[in-house]
Amino acid sequence: MIFNAYGTTILVTVFGTTASLIITSLLAYPLSRRDISGGYIVAFLQFFIFTLLFNGGMTGSMA
């Protein structure tokens, strides 16, 4: 049972890291090139997603 849990943890970690690297690379390329059309859309979406990572937490929830 413990080996199954470790296997699942390793699989999720490897898959998540690989997916994160691929997505980051695909988003970073248009930002590094000025001559690609539509690069500003990717830049806008990336900054929008970046702000979602750092949310306000539970501000204002205590009444």
Residue 31's CB: how many other CB atoms inside 10 A?
Answer: 14
Instruction: Return the pLDDT at 27.
Output: 74
- List, in order, residues 6 or more apart from 35 with CB less than 8 Å away: none
Instruction: Return the pLDDT at 15.
Output: 93
Euclidean distance between CA atoms 33 and 15, whole angstroms: 28
Q: What is the mean pLDDT of each run of 10 residues along the chain (63 residues)?
A: 91 92 80 72 69 58 49
Instruction: Return the pLDDT at 54.
Output: 66
Instruction: Return the pLDDT at 58.
Output: 53
The pTM (predicted TM-score) of the whole model is 0.54
